[in-house]
Every structure is written in C-alpha cells, then in structure tokens.
Structure 1
Amino acid sequence: MDYIPRQAAHELPFDGTDIVLRYSFEHPALPFEFEDTLEAWSVAVLRYHGEDGCPQCPPECPCRFEAGTPIGGMEFVRIRDFTADPGWEAADSYTGDIEKIVSVCTDPGYAMTPGLHWSAEFEERIDCPAGDLLIMDRVRIEPQWRGFGIGALAAAEAIRRLAAGCCAVACEPAPTEGDHERDQPGYQAAQAKIAKVWESVGFEAFSDGIYLLDPALQHPADCRTRWQKHFGRR
C-alpha cells in the first residue's frame, strides 16, 4: 500500500471493529423518469458498539445507542445497463459530475441509445466490460477523524457490497465540496493527495481525471484486505 495515513489507526480512541456502514436506498414501486436506470445509494459511516463493547465509555455515550455516532458518509450512483433508458441521459439528469464520468466511459455516438455503450478505451481497460457502472460520487469523513484511513477502509468495504453486477467502479478524485475551490492554488495538490487514497483502494487513472476500479480483478480485493489489516483485522 503506497499511501500511508498521516495518523496511525491505533491512535484512534476506538477500535476498527466499532466502525459500521449503514446503507440506504429507496425508490417508488412504479419508477418514473430515469429511476429504473439510476440508483442513488447513501452509506453512513458510524461508530457503534453494544452494551459490552467498550468499558471506557460511560452509559450515556451516544456510540452505545442504536443510531450510532456519525463519523462520515458516502454517496454512490449506479447506472444500470439493459434498461429502456440511455445511460448517458439518465446520468445527465442527475448531476454534471455523474454525466462527466459516464461520458468519459462511453461512446458518444450512442449517447441517446438505450443502455450503456462503452468506449473502445474503456473496453481495453476493463477485464469484462459488460454490466452496470458504479460511481463513487462523494466520500466525506468528519474533520476530526481524517488522516487515519477511515475513508479508504469504508470505500473498499462499500464497493465490495455495492459492485455486484457492475463491470467497473468509477470516481473523480476531488476535495470534499466546500473544502477547496477548483481555481485555488491548493486544489491540484489536494486532488493528487486524494487520488493516492483511492489508488490504495484499487482505483487506477483512466482518462480526463476519471479513475476506474475493475471488481473482476484480484487487486481491489488485496487492497481491501490490506486496509482491514491496517485497522486491526489479522
């Protein structure tokens, strides 16, 4: 793992086994517009343990409660293939960031054709370019918990759960919204630092600032194992 967190996991005031991911997704029973093609998933990153989980915590500690204590959150978008909607049009209806990623990965000549039609470059990069596209849209860890690698661990675990049936996972490394502006001098340095984090999860640079992870390869699984070990799983 080339990326080394600036703070060691053992410096956290809680154990890695206290980190829990909670997934949420909802849709109408009768989809309208592009809801049959685009799925927006939210993943809460929580600190939680049961009554016997931490003798150091007082009984009123919020991390004992069922809701847990939020330490971050992630947003994923899944673009489903083999639907009646053009994948690019569904992405364009959501946000410009999602539209850009889908545009980079697909053939513009088929933008208004139902489904996902990959570009030649994408098909060369991905081992089995058939299936849905999972996009890691946002990852945010609360400021006091940054620098430990929690975001990388959470991303690796969430991708493991959400990428079934997807031929690729895509993202565009960028600072959390509000932390930096694109025209500020420190933006590119912050962007490069975040790219290193996502490379430690298994992403690789693709095109126009977009990174891809191939879930069919062993490399992402190895990255996930290394992060698990980093947080204490042996």
Structure 2
Amino acid sequence: MMNKPSTRKFPADASKIELTYTQRRRAVMDDDDEIERWEVSADVRDYTEGGEPILVSHVGDFTLYAFDPYQAGSWQVALEGRACSGQQIVRAIGKPGYAAPLREEVENLLDATGPAYLVLDTARLEPQWRGSGLGAYLAGSAIETLGRGCSGVFLVAGSLPDEPLIADEDVAASKLGQVWRSLGFAPLVDKVYVLNLGVTTLQKNMAAMRDALGLA
C-alpha cells in the first residue's frame, strides 16, 4: 500500500534541502578525539546563476558521534564527556571497564557489517519545519551517509523535538520513540533505541518516508 503524499506546507521547497557535514578535530589529539563528532546542518539555498548561494531557510541541526570500540580504548570516557546522551548510552551498551567493547547482548542484536557504531546525539528542527516527520527523515539521511562501515546506531528517545514540547518526560519519550520506530529503531533499555544497519530496514523506511513527505 502506497503512502499518501503529505499535504504539509513547508516554508520552502523541501526537495531542495541540503545537508552539510562538518567534522572538527584538534591538531593535537587526546583521548576525547578517539571518537568522531559530526555536525550536520540542513538548509535550503538559492543558487542564483553567477552568484553566491543565498540561504533561503535554515531547517535544522544534527550531531552524531562515530566510534570503534576495538580501536578507541577510552571510547566510553570520550562519549560520556562529549555527547549529551553519552552517559545514558554508555550505561546501556558498554561493558564495565573503559577499554571494553560493547556488551555481548547488544552486539548480538546487530549484523556485523563494520567495526564502528554511530550515536545520534542531538537533532533539532526550526519550529516552522516541525510536525511532519521531516526531522526523522533528515536524521535517517545523515545516518545513511555517516553509517557506512557501521553496524548500528544508538540514540536516546527525546533527541528530536519535531513536535511541540511535552511537559511529561515519559510521555515525550514514548511519543518520540514512535517517531524513531518509523526509521527502524527498536527500544533497547531505559529510553535507549538501537538501529541495525546490517539489514535493509532503514532504506525501505526512508523510501516510504520520501513518498509520505512528497519528496519522491
């Protein structure tokens, strides 16, 4: 059954949204640099012929971390220190001992397509772009780009304020959990969700979301 195209009116042409990826690393690296921080900006620009591109609308921002627990000896320390959701995710997926890999029960949930993992730490849309599911779609697009060579993605439900703020934290987490399920994320423990990148679930769900948003 095909998804009905969205009738949502966006403030600019959503089919022209661009994602810009920025990675900042210090020239002299320390333990914190054993994980990669990626900042992703979603924008609509007007490419006027012969001139510089003009920003039409800033859509939102996303922050992701990539790490290889077998290469980054202190990945747990780095993730706890740098990611907003780091402590909660480390408690859910990490073995005791900061040089340890992931818990076996977590690794067993994922198809080993690569040694690395992603954490979707923050996701924010500008208010005028919220309420359509576009935020989840853009997050999925960033995951597709940065997730090559990764086996899975982790996040804490509540990372994406694509809906009006909800005072009750548990209700908000449940509501946003439904949003993340639309990409293929599954609940792991304590509001932490996991996405298996070793199967085609993400690609299939992204295609369905493109249809629903009228971007296909």
State the match for 1:189 in structure 2: 171
| Distance in 2 separating the partners of 1:84 and 1:192 | 33
Choose the corresponding residue for 1:202, options 184, 192, 196.
184
| Distance in 1 separating the partners of 2:81 and 2:11 | 42
For 1:42-61, what aligned pairs fall within 5 Å after superposition?
42-51=39-48
| Distance in 1 separating the partners of 2:40 and 2:114 | 25
- CA gap of 1:34–1:160, structure 2 versus 1, over 3 A, is same
State the Cα distance separating 1:167 from its structure 2 match: 1.4
CA contact (8 A) 1:180 1:187 kept: no
The DSSP-based 3-state class of the residue aligned with 1:135 is strand
State the match for 2:205 in structure 1: 223
State the match for 2:60 in structure 1: 72
State the Cα distance separating 1:117 from its structure 2 match: 1.2
CA contact (8 A) 1:34 1:85 kept: no
| Distance in 2 separating the partners of 1:130 and 1:157 | 19
- Mark the runs of 5 or more structure 1 residues left unpaired by the alignment: 53-63
State the match for 2:29 in structure 1: 31
- Mark the runs of 5 or more structure 2 residues left unpaired by the alignment: none
State the match for 2:103 in structure 1: 119
The DSSP-based 3-state class of the residue aligned with 1:158 is helix
- CA gap of 1:84–1:219, structure 2 versus 1, over 3 A, is closer
- CA gap of 1:68–1:78, structure 2 versus 1, over 3 A, is farther
| Distance in 1 separating the partners of 2:177 and 2:202 | 15
**Which protein shows a greater Rg?**
1
The DSSP-based 3-state class of the residue aligned with 1:220 is helix
Q: Quick check: 1:137 aligned with 2:125?
A: no
The DSSP-based 3-state class of the residue aligned with 2:66 is strand
State the Cα distance separating 1:119 from its structure 2 match: 1.1
Deviation string 1:103-143 (CA, Å, 9 cap, x unpaired) is 311222xx232xx5121220221122851221001111111
State the Cα distance separating 1:231 from its structure 2 match: 3.0
- CA gap of 1:173–1:130, structure 2 versus 1, over 3 A, is same
| Distance in 2 separating the partners of 1:171 and 1:86 | 20
The DSSP-based 3-state class of the residue aligned with 2:41 is strand
State the match for 1:91 in structure 2: 79
Deviation string 1:84-110 (CA, Å, 9 cap, x unpaired) is 5222122222246212212311222xx
Q: Identity over aligned residues, as a percent?
A: 23
CA contact (8 A) 2:60 2:125 kept: yes
State the match for 1:81 in structure 2: 69
State the Cα distance separating 1:230 from its structure 2 match: 2.4
CA contact (8 A) 2:39 2:63 kept: yes
State the one-letter code of the partner of 2:150.
C
State the Cα distance separating 1:232 from its structure 2 match: 3.0
The DSSP-based 3-state class of the residue aligned with 1:112 is coil
State the Cα distance separating 1:16 from its structure 2 match: 2.6
State the one-letter code of the partner of 2:35.
L
The DSSP-based 3-state class of the residue aligned with 2:176 is helix
State the Cα distance separating 1:18 from its structure 2 match: 1.6
TM-score, structure 2 as length reference? 0.85
TM-score, structure 1 as length reference? 0.79
The DSSP-based 3-state class of the residue aligned with 1:153 is helix
The alignment of Structure 1 onto Structure 2 pairs a total of residues equal to 211
State the Cα distance separating 1:203 from its structure 2 match: 0.7
- Which aligned runs of 4 or more in structure 1 are off by greater than 4 angstroms? none
Aligned Cα root-mean-square deviation (Å): 2.8
